[in-house]
Amino acid sequence: MARKPGWEGRFYEDFEVGDVYEHPLGRTVTETDNSWFTLLTQNTAPLHFDRRYAAQTEFGRPVVNSCLTLALVTGQSVTDISQNVMANLGWDEVRLPHPVFEGDTIYSRSEVLEKRESRSRRNVGLVSVRTTGFNQDGEVVITFRRTVLVYKRGHGPKVRHVASSDDSR
């Protein structure tokens, strides 16, 4: 049986301006996700966790914490954008045009906007992307620009893979 490496993510050389990556995994946001994230971040806005309060708003139900939406969509992009990251440099132009509700399934994609070699580090390059998150109905729920320092091929830390029991063959 042949062993084949799994996906290792993109390195700086793999990015091309204009490329669009459809991130492979969607995620349904649950009531527990929203409650836990809200509690973990000490967000006291009752719109996120008090059903009675939220019922009195124009939404009529709890709205998912927008920082959870940002974290989720960023996480969905890691496999394509920052699997080989040295550093996340920032999020800019974050926009939330439509609320996320408990039970929504979120999907995302990213477009490469810019890339350039680092002026101070020879082992990395800067990559900027525009990431868009959307719900099951195709409504855009978040957009942001993200800039990361990505390792060049052969210059990042080595990933240690656990040997399987059949390595002795």
Give pLDDT, residue 8: 84
Q: What CATH fold (topology level) applies to the domain 12-153?
A: Thiol Ester Dehydrase; Chain A (3.10.129)
Task: Report whether pLDDT(168) > 70.
Answer: no
Task: Encode pLDDT of 100-118 as tens digits.
Answer: 999 999 999 999 999 999 9
Task: Encode pLDDT of 6-62 as tens digits.
Answer: 778 899 999 999 999 999 999 999 999 999 999 999 999 999 989 999 999 999 999
Structure tokens at 17: 């301006």
Give pLDDT, residue 37: 94
Beta strand 105-117 pairing with 124-134 = antiparallel
Predicted TM-score (pTM) of the model is: 0.88
Higher pLDDT, 141 or 2: 141
Task: Encode pLDDT of 64-94 as tens digits.
Answer: 999 999 999 999 999 999 999 999 999 999 9
Task: Report whether pLDDT(128) > 80.
Answer: yes
Where in the chain are the domains?
Answer: 12-153
